[in-house]
Structure 1
Amino acid sequence: MHSVGITALAVHLPEGLRTNSWWDNKPIPYYGMTPPPTLTNKKHYAYDKAMEPYITDPFLGSIERRVVYNHETSVSLGVKAAAKALQAANLSANEIDGLIAVSMYPDRLGFGDAALIAEKLGIGGGAFNIEASCNGAMSALLTACGLVKSGIKSKVLVVTTTLFSRIIDDDKALRFVSDLSTAFIIGTVENGFGLLGSDSLHLGQTSGNWSIDIIEDQSLPINQRMRLRPSRLYAQVIRTTAEQYLTHTVKGALCQAKLSIGEIDCVALSTTTAWHAEFSANVLGIDKTRVINTYPQIAYAGLSTVPFNLYTAASQQMIKPGEIILLYGYGGQTEASAAIFRWNNISLGPPPDDATIINQN
């Protein structure tokens, strides 16, 4: 069996940049989660302890977030990220024989972005979509690795796009999320490198805490868009389940890879909150400097967060060839996944373009 892994990685951020000044005249109390009354609750102590410094901050540690601007769409963002990945890998589109797209959520309801992105890029192979909520990038990553390892495909391009600003209507919630797109190519790598082990766990326990409504929007071609509607308890669900899903899947991935947590050099995970990196480091028992945290710069970017954090670590040379990296994602009502890679020489796309500040004040 071939060793498989990421051979190229790129990111594309939309043109708009919204800073905290957007909300200067709209102060709100702590949003999204009831502050813990005490830190003596041993069951959730690690989460509450990491969260404590942010409780009085109305932005919960977020400083900037990117948002779509000038008619940017899920497809246009995805195409730009994919083109950067192809250029970094020095590959033409016809050398890709499979494309997987994960979008949260696509502009075209019900059909996804895969075929449109493939057509615009000129890819000749198949293209399909995966829906795994905020774990979409990890689910697609492991699916692509399986396709290449089995010999069904030789090079698979994965494109992730997050458009939270178009599915969240609550102005308070928009303080904590970003729009962005990433792309990575999965192919064969040197033996002993690439994917070493993985594990996934379904999150049926979280069902019912997020729902989707369809609303009218005349600015889109089909005049409709999705709206994400969380329950009142969704943040408490994350708080009470985060540790068990993280430890379960990481333990399984380490076992499959025949490694210990002490051998992990870098962690790129879904930084749902500003304190998620520190919380995860404490739970795993590793130095928090090993866990990438881009929350202040982009807030939470849903399914695109893990590959964006990975790109950040690689571009800042926090990962060296031969080192071991842990990836972890959490997708409400779908699955959580952990994967361990030995870092190979990965081609990186260029840094994100500068943005236009679109604050209203």
Structure 2
Amino acid sequence: MTFYSKIIGTGSYLPPRKVTNHELAEQLAAKGIETSDEWIVSRSGISARHYAESNVTSSDMAVEAAKRALDAANLQANEIDLIILATSTPDFFGGFPSTACIVQNKLGITNGAAAVDVQAVCSGFIYAMSMADSMIKSGSHKNALIIGAEVFSRILNFEDRTTCVLFGDGAGAIVMSRSEEPGVLATKLHADGSHSHILCVPGNLNAGVIAGSAFLYMDGQAVFKLAVNVLEKVANEALELAGMQANQVDWLIPHQANIRIMQSTAKKLSLPMDKVVVTVDQHGNTSAASIPLALDAAVRDGRVKKDQVVMLEGVGGGFTWGAALIKM
């Protein structure tokens, strides 16, 4: 018997605290760091982002997004038999225990469902989706909860205006279930560790003390150049695997990092920007949460409809990148 996987529910959560560029610029000015709304928007397309309160963790936001996805899928939590959670900001240092296990407990899932974290930074959600798709198709699992959740505000250096203005916090989730018809049409994943130095948090724990820096570092120009190149290629690889052309894609939902990267990718795929879902202006870069956040926003406002073809793609530290072509 042939099994397929299909997305049957989406959900997302953003912390209540929304920080505009103007507010952030005022905070940075108090530290003697100059920036402005115009400077941030012109370089990234970002106008605002959300920050979690100090007592809110990735698992807290993941649970809220998961509940909304479960409601949309009309499933109870104990019907989930697989949880894959993508994050670079786990609840505990080193991700031990996994945030996925913490989410399982907070959701009250007591059926022994498998639970695991995935670390592929901004590509993490695509990696998680691809893994869940394979596990559902193998017949080993039926209902998977895939989550991207981040509190990137915890690892930002607010004395570095080139990075601190770009990122925000949030969570997004989908429920993928066994289906008689294909929902995930194709996925493709890549990585190249030789580029690990251009986007990283270059610190490690040694005898209970952080050696190196616990703040995010990014070589913006190098990341931009690499991202534009690989996103076009991996999108075309996914299309080829599915036997489809770019003009058959109804919506492109890329990782929400930088509007210029998104515009360049759309142009290379000959897709107009009115077919690109953009949330980076209001969410900033939420890393592994950005794609499911954008997908949920487009599903709930009616843009993404049943039976439409959607291209999801992401690129992030590692360096990692990937794409998933899906039919809703």
User: Which bin holds the TM-score, normalised by the shorter protein?
Assistant: 0.7 to 0.9
SS at match of 2:259: coil
Is the 1:8–1:88 Cα contact (8 Å) retained in structure 2?
yes
In structure 2, what is the equivalent of residue 3 of structure 1?
4
Distance apart, 1:154 and its partner CA: 0.7
The correspondence for 1:260, drawn from 245, 250, 255, is: 245
Q: Provide, for residues 69-88 of structure 1, a one-character-per-residue CA deviation record: whole Å limited to 9, x for no partner.
A: 26211121111111222222
TM-score (norm 2): 0.88
In structure 2, what is the equivalent of residue 86 of structure 1?
70
Is the 2:40–2:165 Cα contact (8 Å) retained in structure 1?
no
Is the 2:173–2:293 Cα contact (8 Å) retained in structure 1?
no
Provide the C-alpha distance between the structure 2 equivalents of 1:56 and 1:153, rounded to a whole number of angstroms: 44
In structure 2, what is the equivalent of residue 353 of structure 1?
none
- Tell me the percent identity: 24
In structure 2, what is the equivalent of residue 294 of structure 1?
279
Q: Are 1:97 and 2:81 an aligned pair?
A: yes
Q: Provide, for residues 309-328 of structure 1, a one-character-per-residue CA deviation record: whole Å limited to 9, x for no partner.
A: 11122122222222211110
Is the 2:9–2:69 Cα contact (8 Å) retained in structure 1?
yes
Q: RMSD of aligned C-alpha atoms?
A: 2.5
Is the 1:135–1:334 Cα contact (8 Å) retained in structure 2?
no
Q: Are 1:249 and 2:250 an aligned pair?
A: no
Distance apart, 1:275 and its partner CA: 2.1
Is the 2:63–2:103 Cα contact (8 Å) retained in structure 1?
yes
In structure 2, what is the equivalent of residue 28 of structure 1?
34
The correspondence for 1:132, drawn from 110, 116, 120, is: 120
Distance apart, 1:56 and its partner CA: 7.8
In structure 1, what is the equivalent of residue 216 of structure 2?
229
Provide the C-alpha distance between the structure 1 equivalents of 2:244 and 2:9, rounded to a whole number of angstroms: 25
Distance 1:305 1:259, change over 3 A: same
SS at match of 1:176: coil
SS at match of 1:153: coil
Query: What amino acid sits opposite 1:342 in the alignment?
Result: K
The correspondence for 2:202, drawn from 199, 212, 218, is: 212
Distance apart, 1:152 and its partner CA: 0.8
In structure 2, what is the equivalent of residue 200 of structure 1?
189
Alignment of 1:319-338 (within 5 A): 319-338=304-323
Query: What amino acid sits opposite 1:117 in the alignment?
Result: V
Gaps of 5+ in 2: none
Query: What amino acid sits opposite 1:64 in the alignment?
Result: A
Is the 1:330–1:336 Cα contact (8 Å) retained in structure 2?
yes
SS at match of 2:214: strand
Distance 1:11 1:56, change over 3 A: closer
Distance apart, 1:306 and its partner CA: 1.0
SS at match of 1:152: coil
Distance apart, 1:29 and its partner CA: 5.6
Is the 1:132–1:335 Cα contact (8 Å) retained in structure 2?
yes
SS at match of 2:257: coil
Alignment of 1:115-126 (within 5 A): 115-123=101-109, 124=111, 125-126=113-114
